[in-house]
Structure 1
Amino acid sequence: MIDLTSIYHRAVDNYCYLHDSETLHIRIRTKKENVSEIEIIYGDQYETSDYRWVTFRQGMKKTGSDGLFDYWQTAIKSDHKRVRYGFILKNDEQQITLTEKGFSPFIPEDTGWYFCFPYMHKKDLFSPPKWVYETIWYQIFPERFRNGNASLNPDHTVGWGEEEPNLTNFFGGDFQGIMEALDYLEDLGITGIYLTPIFYAKSNHKYDTIDYFKIDPQFGDIDLFRRLVEECHNRGIRVMLDAVFNHSSDQFPPFQDVLVNGENSPYKDWFHINQFPVREENGFHYETFGFYENMPKLNTSNPEVKKYLFEIASYWITECNIDGWRLDVANEIDHCFWREFRSTVKAIKPDLFILGEVWHDALPWLRGDQFDSVMNYPVLSKSLQFFAYDMLSAQQFIEDITTILQQYSDNVNHLLFNIVGSHDTPRILNECQYRKERVKLLFTFLMTYPGTPCIYYGDEIGLDGGSDPGCRKCMPWQEEHHDLDFKNYIKTLIRIRKETPLLTFDGPLYFLPPIDKCFAYYKENDSEYIVVILNHSDQEIHYTLPFSLKGKKITMLINHHEYAAEAQELTVVMKPYESNILSFAR
């Protein structure tokens, strides 16, 4: 029997959405291996013939399975942009129809029973900036990337890399240093840089902003920053800044006014004050980021605060022509604020990229009215569990990644901000216990998985470091401190991604059955397949591809080898911890 309790569909979000202005993607979930076939029945609710509703039927494809469920999907078009639809589900024992009114043993004729997508409005299409799909990002922690002008060094600056990073030391990284490194970034293949906060603050990380309209003097000034952005743009490199709007420094002038004037301060409603005085010997009485007394939480529902923060966001776009905002602690700010934020910045620069920091399921922010993307920490977590910690089998990894993929539409998945580390996590080399072969597998996955990939500065040369602040070491610039083999491997992966549009655009990702700890996945379009095989094993694995390949040319993209398949099937011999990326025609 068909397990009705496991079936899920709703005509919204990742289960029914506009893929483009003419195409609707529809998805349904069923119990794993319980349903053998699904057809979608659909039509325009107003179109009839001989007083009967005109309908069409189309098969649905199983696009993935996790530990509990199968996921099915199809794409349909409608000449009149209106769709009513239902599902005909079958197995060897039963056929049932699912509509909005529930399950039926028959196929209803009344259009009012069916799920409804009332109209395909182009305005409702999830429309992020197109340039982001092709971007290779590089995250820079400015204080630790490169010191280009020692005259800007803060007091008590330490010699570059002469001691381990801690919560309070400074090494003097600045904008001039970044400009001097642009040749390096361009050679690596980088087309976007994400800078952690650059505004005036007392800390080395700058997430405790004192003045949002002022560049921190240890980095330079606004004129130098304009030059940096202009030089990046001349090289085809976009620039994204970090906006810390959830909280400020306690040295932020409005908060200082509250400390001095208490209930009489005109800024008392700019923060979440619980009682006055806001500070006493036994503690403080206001909301903060975490429990950090020096980071009071801003009241983003206050119209004055919103106006102030929107002016900041607008200022740096208009004054310096930045290309994106990364939004710190974005999930702790109200949705209304972000909707207005999006309208404000997109009115100035329609192709501005809006990236939210959300560490969990971020669907409420990814409906097209708030963010273009979020940092993909869920995929990072599962990737580390498999590649670094050996906590998952290959089958479990496939199932867990499938669950994450199915949480979002294809449109969203292709723009998620994929990482293998950041300023908030231990270095990937440390996570893998210095086993470089595993780091290579992780980066192969990063560069071939749907989304826009980002490299944390220094990871490409084997920079190590533990948890914050250990992950914020100075970037070494002497080549003898670079792992050149690993750097060249990263450059190869970047080149492959740039030369292979199928990795960047087009359709869903499909997993193939694993063999031991070796697994594979592929993407396809009308003319080509791309298959990625990753052997996370210390054993040689013979992996047979389930494609008809006789007479076709197969290209191994990592080593440039080409083969003409002489048999229907191809068995790829995978060395221990080897990656392979294959391309062949349909």
Structure 2
Amino acid sequence: MLYIGSKSGIHRFTAKLTVDEGDNFQWYCFKISLLNSSSQTTDVVWYSSLGMSRECPLIHHCFAFELNASHPSWVKDLVLYEIFPDRFACSKDYFTIDADHYAADTPIHANVFEYKNLDEVHCGGDLDGTADMLPYLKDMGISGICLSPIFKAPSPKKLDTEDYDVIDPHFGGNGALKRLRQKTSDLDMRLILSATLNHTGDNHPWFDRMERTGKGALHHKDSPYRDYYSFLPNDQAVYFNDNPNCPKLNYASRAIRHMMYKGANSVVKKWISGAYDADGLIIAHASQIGDNGTSRNNLKRLAQICKEARSVHPDCLMIGDYRSDARYVLNTDQNLDGAINYTGFISPIRAFFGGMNLTGDPIPYTGEDFRRTCENYSVGVAQEIKLCLINQLDNSTMPRFFEILGGEKSLYLSALAVLFTWRGIPCVYQGDELGDILDQYEIGPSSPLPYIAMRDHKITPYSKIVSTAVKDLSDIRRSNPALTLGSLVFITSGGAYFGYIRLYNDRFSIVLVNASRQAMKIEQGSILFPLLAAMYLPDDNTADSDNNADSGESLLIPLSGRNIRRTDHGEGLEALYDLLSKEKLSVSCFGLTKSSEEFSENFIKELVAGKTITMPARTTVIINNEKKD
């Protein structure tokens, strides 16, 4: 390492990394040696994503970066809105219940509002209705929509595909998707589709449980589609999650690979090119795709899918829907761009604010639990990948976030602020922008919202506050590249609070979250040291450095992405706070405390004084520095 110089007690070193140009993913760590006066090593520590250790870290604990990152550049400004088309909006100006059932044991319900579980019925939403709602979303700061599966299928959720070439007639057919694509293009919005590539429905002609074609794989061993699926020695088909409606596809078959992604008219290529030209795909149950009824060769098959998709649409976004750890695929070359961030954000944010994990277990997180979980998941993942992870508070597969909060309105706003300032892609699930209106219908994540609430004129004052907050947070996010491109470093965490900073070049954002019912004072000490050191380190011009070099202070400088505490709070730190005071700062509050000029002025005074910070109750505070002239 080369010593560059020092300023205000901060010492800067640089080092060159030798890269293997044959590997896109590069991992590195630091070996720090303590030398005596004779330049002999007397002690050694290693520094990695997990911090300091006495042993050389494992490779997946090292820092990581991509040598040739090729992810879509448009992702950085993306604010997504997830839509379940059957329950979102209807071009007919009303919802209908057709009570179609697709399995012998499925009950038929006549009245949608008598039931919280609407999985058995179609409610009448369609893609033309979705298109009509796009200006509403655009005005709220949304720049892209992602649709749940829309291929023809008997069930409302469309996970049991009957025909990959046809958009379900309930949603308006292929023409409706073309019209939606045109409308999103006109409004400069992105369109992302979901595809169930792991299995088909049992009504698909390839499988044909009902013997409509006389040549389906289930009943005919000589079927041309027999090797599209996997069968046990007793001729029992292999099903996804043992669900007889969902026979699992066999990607060991060259024919199925051709049909699904290799052929010029394959499923994947059709929908992300030509007249439909979707901007990306979310692959449902991505971890299960594989050969011979298993997930064998999963990485290989996913890489092939991504390669073929990019061959016709180089700038498409490829996302995996993983309820578990997705890092095994994210750290492989030429594979998925990102994943739905269940483990690294959705589960911990629900546990911290709502005391409940993804499966509904009561797990009340402290701020320290939240920090540890999020940091551990990000270990060894390249920054470029982290920026492509989709973060949510909820979606159609789990109880509404507002519900698990018990209707705590301030906490809801506070959590939204975390969503929009977190590293990755913020995604709002349909209706979440309405806040307490969700309680009035009491029909869970599958409810026809927001359309029906707007039609019934039941938008409350609080609903307006929440939707305005979504717009404000979208604007804040896009105004600061630290929030769209920056690293994330935790600076404090405890019982009911945590804080982090986002850093990118000369821009930063400080985010402080207090979920308790009381305002909280925390000692600043060195919590902002990672920010101050990164922003105000001496540059390569040693003429501006203190020539006296080492002042005797002991410093542990954060080398990348993790908070390493300074061991001394001396004059050097005070000088850095003085530099911070010269920044032009803006303060925004989301929660119980509202943004005001008076609050902003008092908070900035506290911040730059470097003594204590008062974190208001049930509130997230966002501090941004503004662009320098």
Give the TM-score of the pair, scaled to structure 2: 0.71
In structure 2, the CA distance between the partners of 1:553 and 1:499, relative to structure 1 (3 Å rule), is: closer
Deviation at 1:568, TM superposition (A): 3.3
Secondary structure in structure 1 of the residue aligned to 2:198: coil
- Aligned match for 2:398, one of 425, 436, 445: 425
Q: 2:346 aligned to 356, 359, 380, which one?
A: 380
Of 454, 469, 479, the residue aligned with 1:499 is 479
1: CA distance, partners of 2:495 / 2:378: 23
Aligned partners of 1:84, 1:579: CA distance in 2, in Å?
34
The residue identity in structure 1 corresponding to 2:339 is V
Quick check: 1:510 aligned with 2:475? no
One of 423, 428, 435 as aligned partner of 2:408: 435
* Shift in alpha-carbon separation, 1:336–1:320, aligned structure 2, 3 A: same
What's 1:322 paired with?
A: 278
Equivalent runs, 1:539-550 vs 2, <5 Å: 539-543=518-522, 545=524, 546=528, 548=577, 549-550=580-581
d(CA) in 2 for partners of 1:342, 1:234: 27
Q: Hey, what's the Cα distance between the residues in 1 that align with 2:249 and 2:506?
A: 52
* Residue 360 of structure 1: how far off its partner (Å): 2.1
Q: 1:126 aligns with which of 65, 69, 92?
A: 69
How far is the alpha carbon of 1:79 from its aligned partner?
11
More divergent stretch after superposition (384-393 vs 146-155): 146-155
- Residue-by-residue CA offset, 1:17-49 (whole Å, 9 max, x unaligned): xxxxxxxxxxxxxxxxxxxxxxxx5xxxxxxxx
Q: 1:347 to 1:152 in 2, by over 3 A?
A: farther
Q: Distance in 1 between matches of 2:82 and 2:127?
A: 14
Change (3 A) 1:573 1:98: closer
Partner of 2:141 in structure 1? Answer: 189
Question: 5+ residue gaps in structure 1?
Answer: 1-40, 42-55, 60-72, 100-114, 279-284
Question: Does the 8 A contact of 2:3 with 2:14 survive in 1?
Answer: no
Quick one: distance in 1 between partners of 2:166 and 2:446?
24
Whether the aligned pair in 1 keeps the contact of 2:71 and 2:315 (CA below 8 Å) is: yes
Provide the C-alpha distance between the structure 1 equivalents of 2:15 and 2:353, rounded to a whole number of angstroms: 34
Counterpart in the other structure of 1:474: 448
Structure 1 position 421, deviation (Å):
0.8
Deviates more, 1:223-232 or 1:246-255: 223-232
Which letter maps to 2:425?
Answer: T
Q: 1:343 to 1:260 in 2, by over 3 A?
A: closer
Residue 296 of structure 1 corresponds to 247
Distance 1:453 1:525 in 2: 18
Which structure 2 residue ranges, 5 or more long, are not aligned? 6-12, 36-40, 48-58, 101-109, 209-214, 290-297, 356-362, 533-576, 590-594
- Partner Cα separation in structure 1 for residue 509 and residue 398 of structure 2: 31
The CA deviation at 1:89 is: 2.8
1:206-257 superposed Cα distances (whole Å, 9 cap, x missing partner): 1100000011111112222111111111111111111111011100001013
Structure 1 SS opposite 2:169: coil
Deviates more, 1:474-483 or 1:175-184: 474-483
* Residues 353 and 552 of structure 1: CA distance in aligned 2, closer, same or farther (over 3 Å): closer
Deviation at 1:94, TM superposition (A): 4.4
The letter of the residue matching 1:308 is M
Larger RCO, structure (CA 8 Å, separation 6 or more): 2
TM-score by length of 1: 0.76
CA contact (8 A) 1:550 1:569 kept: no
Write out aligned runs for 1:534-573 (5 A): 534-543=513-522, 545=524, 546=528, 548=577, 549-558=580-589, 559=595, 561=597, 563=601, 565=605, 568-569=609-610, 571-573=612-614
- Residues 1:141 and 2:115 aligned together: no
Alpha-carbon spacing, 1:370–1:80, altered in 2? closer, same or farther (3 Å): closer
2:619 matched residue in structure 1:
578
Superposed, 1:81-230 pairs within 5 Å as 87-90=30-33, 94-96=42-44, 125-149=68-92, 155-156=98-99, 164-230=116-182
Does the CA-based 8 Å contact 1:314-1:344 persist in structure 2? yes
Q: Distance in 2 between matches of 1:74 and 1:509?
A: 21
Indicate conservation of the 8 Å contact 1:534/1:578, yes or no: yes
| Preserved CA contact (<8 Å) 1:200 1:217 | yes
Aligned residues: 490
2:305 to 325, 341, 350: 341
Q: 1:371 corresponds to which letter in structure 2?
A: L
1:531 counterpart = 2:510: yes
Cα distance, 1:544 vs structure 2: 5.2
Shift of 1:149: 2.9
User: Using a 3 Å threshold, how does the CA distance of structure 1 residues 166 and 355 change in structure 2: closer, same or farther?
Assistant: same
1:362 to 317, 321, 326: 326
Task: Write the distance in 2 (CA, Å) between the matches of 1:240 and 1:213.
Answer: 17
Aligned counterpart in structure 1 of residue 183 of structure 2, from 224, 231, 243: 231
Q: CA separation in 1, counterparts of 2:434 and 2:82?
A: 14
Please tell me whether the aligned partners of residues 551 and 565 of structure 1 are also in contact (alpha carbons under 8 angstroms): no
C-alpha spacing 1:304/1:372, structure 2 compared with 1 (3 Å): same
- Identify, as 1 or 2, the structure richer in strand: 1
Moved more, 167-176 or 557-566: 557-566
Q: Deviations over 1:403-429 (max 9, x none)?
A: 112141111112111111111111111
Contact 1:428–1:464 under 8 Å retained in 2: no
- Would the alpha carbon gap of residues 86 and 584 (structure 1) be closer, same or farther in structure 2, given more than 3 Å must change? closer
Query: Matches of 2:496 and 2:352 in 1, distance apart?
Result: 9
Letter in 2 for 1:555: S
Counterpart amino acid of residue 135 in structure 2? D
For 1:203, the aligned partner's letter is S
SS of residue in 2 equivalent to 1:493: helix
User: What whole-Å deviation, never above 9, does each CA across 1:493-543 have from its counterpart, x for those lacking one?
Assistant: 12211212210013x211112354222111223323210011111111124
Q: Secondary structure at the match of 2:281?
A: strand
- Aligned residue for 2:220, secondary structure, equals helix
Separation in 2, partners of 1:178, 1:189: 16
Q: Pick closer, same or farther for the CA change 1:501–1:263 going to 2, 3 Å.
A: same
Q: For residues 582 and 254 of structure 1, do their structure 2 counterparts lie closer, same or farther at Cα, with a shift above 3 Å needed? A: same
SS at match of 1:233: helix
Cα distance in 1 for residues equivalent to 2:337 and 2:118? 34
CA distance in 2, matches of 1:84, 1:347: 28
Aligned to 2:257: 306
**Contact 2:85–2:148 (Cα < 8 Å) also in 1:** yes
CA gap of 1:152–1:121, structure 2 versus 1, over 3 A, is closer
For residues 452 and 570 of structure 1, do their structure 2 counterparts lie closer, same or farther at Cα, with a shift above 3 Å needed? farther
What is the DSSP-based 3-state SS (H/G/I as helix, E as strand, rest coil) of the residue aligned with 2:156?
Answer: coil
Distance 1:510 1:456 in 2: 27
What are the residue-to-residue correspondences of 1:236-315 with 2, within 5 Å?
236-256=188-208, 257-258=215-216, 261-275=219-233, 278=235, 285-310=236-261, 311-315=266-270
Coordinate RMSD, CA, aligned? 3.4
Between the two proteins, what is the percent identity of the paired residues? 25
CA distance in 1, matches of 2:150, 2:464: 30
